[in-house]
Amino acid sequence: MKIREYKIFPVANPRPDIGGPCWIFLQLITDGGIKGIGEIYGAPFRPAAVCAMAADLCERQMLGADPFRIEQMWRRAYSGAYTQRPDAALLAVLSAAETACWDIVGKELNRPIYDLLGGRTRDSLRAYTYLYPREGDEKYVEHCPQTAAARAAEYASEGFTAIKFDPLGPYGAFDPRQLTQDILHRAETVAKAVREAVGGKCDILIGAHGQMTPAAAIRLAKRLEPFDPLWLEEPTPPENPKAMAQVARATSVPIAAGERLSTKYEFARLLEAGGAAILQPQLGRCGGILEAKKIAAIAEAHYAQIAPHLYCGPVSGAAAIQLAACIPNFLILEGLYKWDGFSAEILTTPLEWRDGKITVPSAPGLGVELNEAIAEKHKLIPGSENDKMHLSPAENPVE
């Protein structure tokens, strides 16, 4: 079996506030006609450049390759141009190619990927969602105690047992920073309102997007401790794990991090520093499914848990599900609300969300198929509103 063809699908997300403006899917096709799909996440370039990088990698490393030789492919790509370091752009593209190979292998063997990585440890996966605005709501519902509480109570009544929100924002290019009293007060009052709205039905998860210095994060954490968050996510930027460890040592709130990290090497440094008790690999950026399995194994040895991150399309989510299904230290999975809307439409068969959990699919490979007709219908148009980087911080200092 050899890979003979690749296709790249840049897709404009009609709800860019739920999952980002553009999803980029990479499809590999074997000489026997088996299709494997992966998703590129968070490469720090505009979509056209990301698609060009994906095409370059496929032409150099994937065409003519045996999709079963995943470890060999990964090392060759990772070592290209003699870098051998966790480059975010390379790892985003490599993650998608690696995932597509696993999808092919699973389909060829007629087994889900998790069966090839140790077997399923559970039949369903607890999932959480961000708070999202309804029509008529403020753009940032997590900045208003009343609206955040109303949405959180609504989600809890629908079956969610964990809800995440970032009451700090916006994040900026000049972070980390010390927080103003206004922001500290807002974060405390929003967290209090959400906790009172959901009571003991839900965990609350606080996102921070690396906005704070360690000193600021410790001040915030002390205000949040009475509301017993399941975690404070990425309190400081990802580049200095020792700084994050300062926060972890100073609070009883567990620290979660990892959405911006790539490879076992960066996650190992975070664990060695004591920076996080909960790791959040993003399967479209961390290096792919096998690399995430290695990250989970390192975490297991440190008694750390895995909560895969997701803020993109459902193919990356499907990869996270395959990982979560076969590891012993899974905690919770991020989703885009109930995995409905465009997340469902872009797949031929949607993922199944019920009562706050995702059912582990039993179909071979990733367990999902890209709806190519929908992908073509929503193909990204260069220069359109969706033609931008996935996430962009405020360019000027946040006062």
Contact 34, 108 (CB under 8 A): yes
CA angle centred on 369, ends 363 and 371, rounded to 5° = 150
pLDDT 10s digit of each residue in the chain, 399 long? 999 999 999 999 999 999 999 999 999 999 999 999 999 999 999 999 999 999 999 999 999 999 999 999 999 999 998 989 999 999 999 999 999 999 999 999 999 999 999 999 999 999 999 999 988 888 889 999 999 999 999 999 999 999 999 999 899 999 999 999 999 999 999 999 999 999 999 999 999 999 999 999 999 999 999 999 999 999 999 999 999 999 999 999 999 999 999 999 999 999 999 999 999 999 999 999 999 999 999 999 999 999 999 999 999 999 999 999 999 999 999 999 999 999 999 999 999 999 999 999 999 999 999 999 999 999 999 999 999 999 889 999 987
Provide the pLDDT for residue 171. 93
Shared domain check, 89 and 196: no
Residue 145 identity: P
Residue 346 lies in a domain: yes
Residue 188 lies in a domain: yes
Provide the pLDDT for residue 342. 97
The 3-12 sheet, strands edge to edge:
3-12, 22-30, 35-40
The catalytic position among 143, 302, 309, 390 is 309
209 flagged as catalytic: yes
The secondary element (H helix, E strand) that includes residue 109 is helix 88-109
Shared domain check, 237 and 105: no
The residue out of 110, 134, 164 marking a domain boundary is 110
Shared domain check, 213 and 94: no
Shared domain check, 205 and 91: no
Residue 376 lies in a domain: no
Question: What is the total count of domains within the chain?
Answer: 2
Q: At what angle do helices 241-250 and 214-224 cross, to 10 degrees?
A: 30
Residue 392 lies in a domain: no
Shared domain check, 158 and 58: no
Shared domain check, 130 and 88: no
The residue out of 42, 75, 110 marking a domain boundary is 110
Shared domain check, 229 and 119: yes
Rounded to whole angstroms, how far apart are CA atoms 336 and 320? 13
Shared domain check, 264 and 159: yes
What range defines the domain where residue 56 resides? 3-110
Provide the pLDDT for residue 81. 87
Of 211, 206, 214, 261, the C-alpha closest to 238 is 261
Shared domain check, 192 and 163: yes
Residue 375 lies in a domain: no
> Peptide bond before 176: cis, by omega within 30 degrees of 0?
yes
Shared domain check, 248 and 303: yes
Residue 283 lies in a domain: yes
309 flagged as catalytic: yes
Shared domain check, 146 and 9: no
Provide the pLDDT for residue 3. 98
Of 193, 270, 264, the C-alpha closest to 224 is 193
Provide the pLDDT for residue 23. 98
Provide the pLDDT for residue 138. 86
Shared domain check, 155 and 52: no
Identify the CATH number of the domain in which residue 170 sits.
3.20.20.120
Residue 312 lies in a domain: yes
Residue 215 lies in a domain: yes
Rounded to whole angstroms, how far apart are CA atoms 20 and 311? 7
The secondary element (H helix, E strand) that includes residue 128 is strand 124-130
Rounded to whole angstroms, how far apart are CA atoms 44 and 15? 21
Count of CB atoms situated within 10 Å of the CB of 35:
18
Identify the CATH number of the domain in which residue 81 sits.
3.30.390.10
The catalytic position among 143, 185, 209, 302 is 209
Which residues, other chains included, contact 181 with Cβ-Cβ below 8 Å and sequence gap of 6+? none
The residue out of 54, 80, 110 marking a domain boundary is 110
